[in-house]
Amino acid sequence: MRAKKFTRNFHRYLSIFVSIQLLLWTVSGIYFAYNKIELVRGEQYRLPKDIEYRIFDRLGLTLIETNKDGKKSYETYPGRESIEPLTTQEALLITSQKTTLNPLEAILIENVKPGSEYRGALPAYKVMTDSKDKINVYVGYMTGDISSIRSDSWRIWDLMWSLHIMDYRERDNINNILLKLLSVLALITSLSGITLFFVKK
């Protein structure tokens, strides 16, 4: 009888301890779901620039990127001569130079489905490697920048993240309506559970 009473009390006090932490997780989750990170960062106060420049190196060639009203163009610098996009062989070479991976094959991708492992600028080269983790390297079509590196470890993380934020399609929207709704219901559940702890029979 004493063991049963001890177990019941242990479960009761353990439950209130866990419920308080769940409440904190829920409240913080609601805050994230209802507040866009762009607004928190103050992006709404930035004035857009009409034109921006970036000078960089691509396989020994100095290039200048001109971003005018969101449209990017590329020329040699300082000669300002037009350039060609990367070839598949150059994408392979850049991958071998900028990573520790061994590239096998490169293909040009021009569109992706929502929730794809690559969500960067297009077009881009997808470079497959001989790694055990099935690593793909994404190389900028014009710049040669390593845009993303995706592995099985990252894909599992991405799946877990989509389950956590309840965005099963695009996998990166923490302001979706389903998360907002369920977070409020979780808050009500946590509060009711804590209330029941203090209610005497």
| Coil, helix or strand at residue 62 | strand
For 56-65, what is the mean pLDDT? 94
Tell me the C-alpha distance between 193 and 16, whole Å. 8
In the beta sheet, which residues pair with residue 155? none
Amino acid identity, residue 155?
Answer: R
User: pLDDT (tens digit, 9 = 90+) per residue, 99-156?
Assistant: 999 999 999 999 998 889 999 999 999 999 999 999 999 999 999 999 999 999 999 9
Please report, rounded to a whole number, the percentage of residues in the chain having pLDDT higher than 70: 95
**Joined tokens for residue 65:** 């990127």
Residue 163 has pLDDT above 80, yes or no: yes
Confidence of residue 201 (pLDDT cuts 50, 70, 90): low
